[in-house]
Each structure stands twice: as structure tokens, then as C-alpha cells.
């Protein structure tokens, strides 16, 4: 089961870059955070400084997922990518 989920997760990470239209920034942040949580686990390191606005937002978004298992994050990422693919094809 874990290997299958890992394979689906890797496939979803490849599919997301092939979408005909890039998702909006909120969805991109959600994808980023779910990917990081699924691949690396809970957020680590120091929060970026005030001048690194993008890094700070990405860090905060990932930090909100603290405690979410890597498997749950992978599944949420896969589900979100599938939803985006379905919306793109309709």
C-alpha cells in the first residue's frame, strides 16, 4: 500500500507541471505545503525573515500541516492534483 501511494504521489508531482493552466497562488501554496509534508514530514528550520515574503508564506503554509502524517499529506496532494486535472479537462 505504501509503495503504491508513493508511486501515485510521484506521478501526481509530475502531472501537476503538465496542467494546461497554472493554478492560482492559493492552490500553488497548498500544493507546495502538501508536497513538502508528504515528502519531508513536519516543517523544520527557522521561519524566514521579514524580507523573504515568499519564503515566509511558504513556510507558514507548510507549518500549518504539522502533525499531518506523510501518508495523509500524500493522499491529499494526489486528490488535489486529480481535481485540478479534472477541472482542466472539463
Question: 19-66: per-residue pLDDT in tens?
Answer: 999 999 999 999 999 999 999 999 999 999 999 999 999 999 999 999
Domain that holds residue 33: 2-89
d(CA 9, CA 82): 11
| Radius of gyration of the chain from its Cα atoms, rounded to whole angstroms | 14
Provide the pLDDT confidence category of residue 89 given band limits of 50, 70 and 90: confident
- Assign residue 72 the CATH number of its domain: 1.20.80.10
d(CA 12, CA 26): 18
Looking at residue 30, what DSSP letter applies?
Answer: H
Q: Would you call 24 helix, strand, or coil by DSSP?
A: coil
Structural domains in the chain (count): 1
Amino acid at each position: 500500500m505504501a509503495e503504491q501511494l508513493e508511486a501515485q504521489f510521484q506521478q501526481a508531482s509530475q502531472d501537476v507541471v503538465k496542467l494546461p493552466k497554472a493554478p492560482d497562488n492559493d492552490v500553488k501554496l497548498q500544493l507546495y505545503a502538501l508536497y513538502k509534508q508528504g515528502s519531508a514530514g513536519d516543517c523544520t528550520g527557522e521561519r524566514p525573515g521579514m524580507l523573504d515574503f515568499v519564503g515566509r508564506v511558504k513556510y507558514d503554509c507548510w507549518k500549518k500541516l504539522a502533525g499531518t502524517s506523510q501518508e495523509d499529506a500524500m493522499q491529499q496532494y494526489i486528490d488535489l492534483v486529480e481535481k485540478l486535472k479534472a477541472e482542466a479537462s472539463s
